[in-house]
């Protein structure tokens, strides 16, 4: 089978993110970047599925030439080839999904596995748009029945499974009140939640092999996609600083404050 996965370049969660004084974006100086952790889980799940069923994993990223670093990372983890959509400017979720849809049409994968969201803007839209554009079924927030400390995880069993006839994908989804299992005919779009797997490290042999794996370069114009943003960020403001809490001397005061000041009980 062929699986397409995504590898968005995002700010490292360890970096300190600051909004610039004009409120037009964040201060890029001193930031470190990495692959979106949800996408890294998607890459891992793709690799586990092809380890079990055979096939190949194609990784896609959209951005300037710096996103090749994230593609190389996915290749070093074990992905077989990479597609780089070269575009340096801003993109909204619709444009990203439209570009991915074109890549999918060219690559014809059985499954497209994406992180459910990226940790920069936390939009959680692209997977759903992509399924709509392609007319495919979707199974979002793929999770696992077993814990990430379980033997199944240590044995690198995939959390996303194929049905007995191999024509559908069976996905456990994380929902508000627990886990729901859905079955979806392939080809399909799956988006990954945090509790699906623990991604492998890029091993040294993997890093060496990644050097000679191909990265195919595409452009929005070449794919015939108009990427003019329909959604524009007007202003960015940092969240208000948290006020210091107070200490109460006893339970009675606490109850009084909850009742009369906070009015929550």
Exactly one of 119, 152, 161, 207 binds other proteins (CB under 8 A); which one?
207
Under the criterion CB under 8 A, does residue 241 sit at the interface with other proteins? Answer: no
Check residue 163 and report its DSSP letter.
-
Shortest distance in whole angstroms from residue 194 CB to other proteins? 14
Question: DSSP 3-state helix, strand, coil percentages of the chain (rounded to 5)?
Answer: 30, 25, 45
Q: Which CB sits closer to other proteins, 209 or 230? A: 209
Positions in 45-74 near other proteins (CB under 8 A): 72-73
Shorter beta-carbon distance to other proteins: residue 161 or 202: 202
By CB under 8 A, residue 203 contacts other proteins: yes
The token pair at 82 is 């990479």
Of 16 and 235, which has the nearer Cβ to other proteins?
16
208 belongs to the binding site for other proteins (CB under 8 A): yes
Stretch of residues binding other proteins (CB under 8 A), selected from 91-99, 158-166, 206-214, 250-258: 206-214
Count of helix runs (H) and strand runs (E) in the chain: 8, 12
* Count, residues near other proteins per rule CB under 8 A: 12
Cα torsion at 154, 158, 164, 168 (round to 10°)?
Answer: 170
Q: Is the CB of residue 161 less than 8 Å from the CB of residue 173?
A: no
Residues paired with residue 19 on neighbouring β-strands, in sequence order:
26
Burial class (CB in 10 A: 0-12, 13-18, 19+), 155: exposed
Closest listed residue to residue 1, CA positions, set 166, 210, 200: 166
The contacts of residue 187 (CB under 8 Å, 6+ apart) are 109, 110, 111, 112, 134, 136
Site for other proteins, residues 219 to 238, rule: CB under 8 A: none
CB of 25 to other proteins, least distance (A): 21
19 binds other proteins (CB under 8 A): no
* Residue 76 found at the interface with other proteins (CB under 8 A): yes
By CB under 8 A, tell whether 148 contacts other proteins: no
- If phi > 0 it is left, if psi is from -120 to 50 it is alpha, else beta; for residue 166 that is left
Q: Which stretch binds other proteins (CB under 8 A): 50-58, 97-105, 165-173, 203-211?
A: 203-211
Residues 6+ apart with CB under 8 A from 29: none
Q: Residue from 54, 122, 147, 211 that binds other proteins (CB under 8 A)?
A: 211
Q: Which stretch binds other proteins (CB under 8 A): 1-9, 17-25, 152-160, 201-209?
A: 201-209
Using the rule CB under 8 A, is 87 a contact of other proteins?
no
In the complex, the residues that contact other proteins under the rule CB under 8 A are 72-73, 76, 201-205, 207-208, 210-211
């Amino acid at each position: 089978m062929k699986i397409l996965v995504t590898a968005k370049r995002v700010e490292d969660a360890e970096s300190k993110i600051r909004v610039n004084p004009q409120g037009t974006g964040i201060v890029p100086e001193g930031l470190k970047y990495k692959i979106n952790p949800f996408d890294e889980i998607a890459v891992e799940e793709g690799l586990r599925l092809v380890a079990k069923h055979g096939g190949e994993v194609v990784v896609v990223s959209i951005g300037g030439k710096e996103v090749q670093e994230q593609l190389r990372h996915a290749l070093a983890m074990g992905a077989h080839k990479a597609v780089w959509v070269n575009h340096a400017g801003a993109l909204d979720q619709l444009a990203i999904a439209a570009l991915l849809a074109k890549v999918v049409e060219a690559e014809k994968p059985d499954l497209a596995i994406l992180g459910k969201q990226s940790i920069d803007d936390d939009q959680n839209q692209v997977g759903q748009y992509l399924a709509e554009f392609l007319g495919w079924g979707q199974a979002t927030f793929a999770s696992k029945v077993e814990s990430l400390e379980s033997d199944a995880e240590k044995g690198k069993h995939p959390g996303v499974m194929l049905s007995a006839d191999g024509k559908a994908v069976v996905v456990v989804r994380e929902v508000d009140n627990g886990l729901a299992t859905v079955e979806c005919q392939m080809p399909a779009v799956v988006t990954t939640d945090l509790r699906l797997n623990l991604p492998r490290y890029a091993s040294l042999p993997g890093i060496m092999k990644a050097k000679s794996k191909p990265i195919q370069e595409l452009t929005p114009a070449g794919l015939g996609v108009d990427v003019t943003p329909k959604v524009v960020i007007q202003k960015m403001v940092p969240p208000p600083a948290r006020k210091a809490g107070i200490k109460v001397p006893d339970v009675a005061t606490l109850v009084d404050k909850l009742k009369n000041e906070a009015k929550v009980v």
